[in-house]
Structure 1
Amino acid sequence: MRQKEFAKKRNIRPEKVVSVLEKYDRKITLAEAELILELSYKFAILCIEQVKNGGSENPSPKRMTPRNLYR
C-alpha cells in the first residue's frame, strides 16, 4: 500500500529520463525509461526504510586484537 501512495508522488517522468540520457549519447525507449524509474523508486523506498530502521538489525561485532599478539 505504501508503494502505491509513493508512486503518486513521482516527479520525474519517463520523457525526462529519455532526454537526460540522450545528452550522454544513450538511446532508450519510453518503456525502458519507465523500468529504470520503477527500479530507482523501489531502491529509494528500500533505502528510506533502512535508514528509518537504523540500518542492519545485527551490527557487526567489534574486532579486537588478541592481547598476546604484541607480547
Structure 2
Amino acid sequence: MNRALALGIDSLMHDTRRLGKSRSLSDLTTSYLIGIACIKPSDLSQRSKMWTNRSLTEYIRENALEEYDLV
C-alpha cells in the first residue's frame, strides 16, 4: 500500500527492476514450458488427467530435447 501511495497507481501496472538473480530462461524456453503445461497430460500419452509438479518435470526432462529438435 505504501508503494502505491508513494509511486502512484500507474506504477503498480508495470514491473520495476528487482534485486536478485536475473532471469535465466530464454523466451523460447519459457514459451515451451508454458505450452506443455497448458496441454492436458492425456493428450501427450500420459496416464494422468492433470499435471503435478513432478509429472510435468519428468515429462519435460524426458522429452524436451526431442521436441526442441536438439537430438
Please confirm whether the aligned pair reaches a TM-score higher than 0.5, indicating the same fold.
no
TM-score (norm 2): 0.34
- Greater radius of gyration (CA): 1
